[in-house]
Amino acid sequence: MSIVSLYCVFADADEAERIGRLVVEERLAACINILSPCRSIYRWEGRIEDASEVPALLKTDASRTDALIARIVQLHSYEIPAIAVWPVEHAPSAFADWVVANSAKETIA
């Protein structure tokens, strides 16, 4: 199986939707699931921060991972966006095929 899930946190739902829609249109991801806002507590520049953020899950072909990460970093409002990639070890073959087809550089017939 050659698909991955990419986890990313955005400043707000508008940013998640804007970036998510663009990377799907650009075929870097097959889809994005924008989740409910979450509370994040983290250290930034020597201070403990407490913020509301919007996590999202994107699905893509493993071969598109580096390009997808680079594009998110380019578009993201954060200086250092939180991005993590999780391999998908098991999924229905029809779903995996759909992810691959919809995140391919060109349409697969």
Domain 3-102 adopts which CATH fold?
Alpha-Beta Plaits (3.30.70)
Contact status, residue 72 vs residue 29, Cβ threshold 8 Å? no
How much of the chain exceeds pLDDT 90, in percent?
A: 94
Dump pLDDT digits (tens) for 24-73: 999 999 999 999 999 999 999 999 999 999 999 999 999 999 999 999 99
| Domain segments of the chain as ranges | 3-102
Q: 108 pLDDT exceeds 70?
A: no
| Helical (H) or strand (E) element with 19 | helix 13-25
How far apart CA 73 and CA 54 sit, in angstroms, is 16
Q: 107 pLDDT exceeds 70?
A: no
pTM of the model: 0.93
How far apart CA 57 and CA 82 sit, in angstroms, is 12
